[in-house]
């Protein structure tokens, strides 16, 4: 396994899934931005799109208005955080990227990661099972990673070599 590019402690992951589930309530997509401190690779906070742009989920698919970046950058600046990844849900078990996902990366920066959680996050999502994992390469090109690649890790216990 490669060294994880990003990691998240299980309690935060669980909280994230619960929020995505609660905000989409099985009827619409929901999503969030994942933030890490400075140059670190651990996700320490998430912010749901609708907390930044109240209409982000109105159409049923995630549409994040650019005005939402203003409060986002304020939070990042105040807390020394940066956006390292985003996550959104899809209605079914299909977690491939839609053309909108491909051509509208939330952050246009190579290395940014995007996760897609199946079934509106309504299923028991304790692991990355079924989750689409993508890395932005720039110029609307993405690399697809498997959950076994170890690029994105959910940390359950305090282990060595994380």
Q: Backbone phi, then psi, for 113, in 5-degree steps?
A: -110, 150
Per CB under 5 A, 15 contacts Zn ion? no
How far does CA 150 lie from the centroid of its chain?
Answer: 16
Mark residues 121-140: x for contact with Zn ion by CB under 5 A, - for none: --------------------
What's the min distance (Å) between Cβ of 124 and Zn ion? 21
- By beta carbon distance, the residue nearest Zn ion is 101
Task: Tell me the C-alpha distance between 96 and 118, whole Å.
Answer: 10
Nearer to Zn ion, 81 or 115 (CB): 115
Question: Which residue of 77, 98, 141, 162 would you call a contact of Zn ion, by CB under 5 A?
Answer: 98
What's the min distance (Å) between Cβ of 158 and Zn ion? 34
Segment 100 to 119, residues that bind Zn ion, using CB under 5 A: 101
Output DSSP code: residue 97: P
Quickly count: other Cβ atoms within 10 Å of residue 146's Cβ.
Answer: 9
What's the min distance (Å) between Cβ of 132 and Zn ion? 8
Which range, of 66-74, 91-99, 103-111, 124-132, touches Zn ion by CB under 5 A? 91-99
Which range, of 19-27, 98-106, 107-115, 132-140, touches Zn ion by CB under 5 A? 98-106
Nearer to Zn ion, 53 or 101 (CB): 101
What's the min distance (Å) between Cβ of 96 and Zn ion? 8
The number of C-alpha atoms within 13 Å of 20 and in the hemisphere containing its C-beta is 32
What token pair was written down for 33? Answer: 């931005």
Q: Which residues of this chain interact with Zn ion, rule CB under 5 A? A: 98, 101
């Amino acid at each position: 396994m490669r060294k994880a590019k990003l990691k998240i402690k299980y309690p935060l992951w669980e909280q994230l899934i619960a929020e995505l589930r609660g905000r989409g309530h099985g009827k619409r997509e929901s999503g969030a931005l994942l933030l890490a401190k400075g140059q670190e690779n651990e996700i320490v906070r998430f912010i749901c799109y609708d907390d930044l742009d109240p209409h982000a989920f109105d159409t049923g698919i995630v549409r994040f208005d650019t005005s939402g970046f203003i409060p986002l950058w304020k939070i990042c600046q105040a807390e020394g955080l940066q956006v390292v990844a985003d996550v959104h849900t899809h209605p079914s078990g299909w977690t491939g990227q839609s053309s909108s996902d491909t051509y509208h990366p939330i952050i246009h920066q190579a290395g940014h990661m995007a996760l897609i959680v199946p079934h509106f996050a309504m299923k028991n999502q304790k692991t990355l099972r079924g989750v689409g994992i993508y890395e932005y390469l720039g110029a609307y090109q993405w690399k697809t990673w498997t959950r076994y690649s170890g690029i994105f890790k959910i940390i359950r216990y305090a282990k060595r070599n994380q």
